[in-house]
Amino acid sequence: MAVILSIDLGNTRLKWWLEGPDWNDHGSIPNQALESGLRGLPWGMIEWIRVASVRDPSATMAISVYIDSLSSPSCHIDTVEIQDFPAALSLPDTDRSQIGVDRYLAMLGATATHASCVVIDAGTAVTIDIVDGCVHRGGYIVPGLQVAWQALVTQTDRIHASTDRLYDAKLGPGFVTQACVDHGVRLALVTLCEAIISKHAGAADHATLVTGGDGAWLIAHLPDGARYAPDLVKRGMDRYFSLRS
């Protein structure tokens, strides 16, 4: 078995998984520290690199060139390409050029075990996609907790708050400005997710899977039965390359 490095290049951080006969590790690197963070990986042992990116083409190319400079000459580098999306997940009404690779991979990973599901990826942006019988039926994109909080604080002169308690559990009304902001941002996201789950995942054969950096916080506020799947994009990447081979 080859030593495989899988990379998910997101808006705020790079997530990586390393697999092989003597390797089973994963981690993440903030985008502002990619060069130093990537140097610490065991490049001499890596035989296959798989990259999925939601960054703009110039940033993706820059990272790809850097990865190529670190890897051995015999190492093979593959990228997830929108035009190569496999038929296992149908996109009849979805513009492929307008759907993020991470959204597609999360759905592809979810449908390996659940043909009908709501897939929530709670990251810098929160994407919510509805899949019915392995057919994409549309979705939603809203600001993540940090982005929503920053938008409110930076665009409102008299609101000054700290993110220290942004990930607390409270959703009820606040009595000081910071609490009102924090609780409101949390409640808005939770209420939206609950409404979509109630409408689209009510049947017994419909699952709700949650992934992304804020997924562990969000899952605690969602209805029983919603499952936290932190490696959902990685699962989708595994399936993508398996179906493409």
Rounded Cα distance between 197 and 130, Å, is 9
Pair of tokens at residue 215: 């997924």
Q: Is the separation of the CB atoms in 235 and 109 below 8 Å?
A: yes
- Residue 104: name the closest of 122, 123, 82 by CA: 82
Q: Is the separation of the CB atoms in 166 and 182 below 8 Å?
A: yes
Rounded Cα distance between 206 and 117, Å, is 5
Give the E-state strand segments of 54-106 in sequence order. 76-79
Given the residues 25, 56, 68, 102, the one annotated as active site: 102
Q: Give the residue carrying structure tokens 């509805």.
A: 130
Q: Give the residue carrying structure tokens 């000054």.
A: 160
Using DSSP bridges, classify how beta strands 135-143 and 125-132 pair: parallel, antiparallel or unpaired.
antiparallel
Give catalytic status of residue 102 as yes or no: yes
Catalytic residues, which ones?
102
